Amino acid sequence: MAATSFRVDVPAGSVLFHQGDAPTSAFLLESGSIEVITVHGDVSRRLGVLGPGDLLGEMAVLDDSPRSATARALADCVLMPIDRKQFAERLDSADPVVRALLLSQISRYRSALAQMSGQIEPSAASLPVPRSSDASVALDKIRLEGHLREALDKGELEVRLQPILDIAHHRIAGFEALTRWTHPERGPISPAEFIALAEETSLIVPVGDYVLDQVCSALQQLAPGDAADPLFVALNVSGRQLADPALLDRFLAVIRAHGLQPAQLKIEITESLVLDYVQVSRIIERCHAAGIKVALDDFGTGYSNLGHLHKLEFDTLKLDQGFVRQMHEPRCLAIVHAVVVMAHSLGCNIVAEGVETQAQLDSLRELGCTYAQGYLIGKPLALVDAVALATSAAA
C-alpha cells in the first residue's frame, strides 16, 4: 500500500485497516471498491461495499474509538486521507446539540453492530446515552428550548422598558424594550442565554412578534398615538427577523391595530447584522417609507463602522457603553466628541448607552449628545412603573 499526505493507493486484496485498529484518519474513496466486514472469532460478515465518492473510517475518528470493522480492497483503489484534525475542527465548531446527537447515533450504531456480530448478547445490548459535557449542554439546550416555547405560549415572557433621556430638555423621550424570562424552576434566565437560543432556532420570529405586540400595547398606555409629542419605544431585531420578507408588514399591521403612529416605534440593528448591505439598506428604505426610524446599535464595537454610515442611512447611532465608561480618559472623550459631531453632521441622533454617573451625563450634555440611557437614568422597568415614570415626567 503506497501512501502520501494526499493519496493512498491500495492494491486489490489489501487491507486498508483492521477491526480494532486505532484510528488515524478517515478516507474518501476516489476510485475502486472496498468491502467493509466485521470479524467475530472465525466468522466474518460483510456489512457493505463502498464505491467512488463514499466516505469510510470516519466513525472511529469522530468518537475516537477503535475501528469497528475491517476495510479490504476488492479492486485497486485510490483514496484521499482526511486527517483527524479536519473532523475535530468542524466538530468542535458545531452546535453542541448537533455534536451530541451525532455521537449518540455513533454510539448506538456501535452497540447494534456489536450485537449483530455476536460480540454481545441481545439482552445485554442497550441504547447508550451520551454522558459527555457536550451531551449535557445539548440536552439542557433542548430542554430549555421546550420550556421557552411553553413560556411563549403561556405569555410568560416579560417586556421591561428602560428609559431614554432627552439630555437637552431633561425629559424622558422614550424607552428601549428588553425581554426578560423567569423560569418556574431555574428562576431568571439571562437574556444572553435564551435570546441566543431563540436566534439559533425559528423561535426568534414568534418571540419577536410577541415582543412587538407587548411593546405596542405598552405604547397605548405610555403615549396615545394622537399625542402631540408621543414617546417612542425602541426594540432590537435579529438577523432571522431581518431575513423575513414579511417582517415590516407585520410591524405595520400591529402598529395600526393599536392605533399608534409608526414614528413611535424604532428598530435597532446591531453592527454584526449589517454586513449584508443590500438587505439592510432595503429594510431601512422600507422603514423610512413607512415612517419607522432605524438605529445602529452598539456603535463602535464592529470593524467597519464608517462603512456602515457611508452606505446605510440610519436615523440614530447608539454609542456602545464601553466608550461612555472611559470618558474620564482624554483620548476616549475626544473619540466620543468626534462621534457626536459626525452623527449630527449626518443628520443622526445619538444615544449614549451605559450612563451611570452624573459626571458622565454632564460630559455628554456638554458634547451635544442627544439622548442618554443607563442606570443613572433608570433601570429596566415593569410596564406599570414605566407608565408612572412617563406620567410624572409629563406633569
pLDDT, tens digit, for every residue of 285-302?
Answer: 999 999 999 999 988 776
pLDDT, mean of residues 348-373: 96
Residue ranges of the domains in the chain? 8-117, 139-394
Cβ proximity of 269 and 294 under 8 Å: yes
Q: What are phi and psi of 394, to 5 degrees?
A: -80, -20
pTM: 0.72
How far apart CA 279 and CA 20 sit, in angstroms, is 53
At 123 the pLDDT is 39
pLDDT in tens, 239-284: 888 888 899 999 999 999 999 999 999 999 987 776 677 888 888 9
Q: Which one, of 198, 264, 289, 277, lies nearest residue 237 by Cα?
A: 198
Per the CB < 8 A criterion, the answer to whether 190 and 135 are in contact is no
Q: What is the mean pLDDT of the chain?
A: 84
Which residue's C-alpha cell is 461495499?
Answer: 49
Phi/psi of residue 355, nearest 5 degrees? -75, 120
What is the mean predicted confidence (pLDDT) over 84-94?
Answer: 69
Q: Does residue 142 register a pLDDT over 80?
A: no
In angstroms, the Cα distances linking 89 to 62, 92, 99, 139, 254 are 11, 5, 12, 22, 45
Q: What is the DSSP letter of 85?
A: H
pLDDT-based confidence at residue 125 (cuts at 50, 70, 90): very low
What is the average pLDDT across 155-169? 95
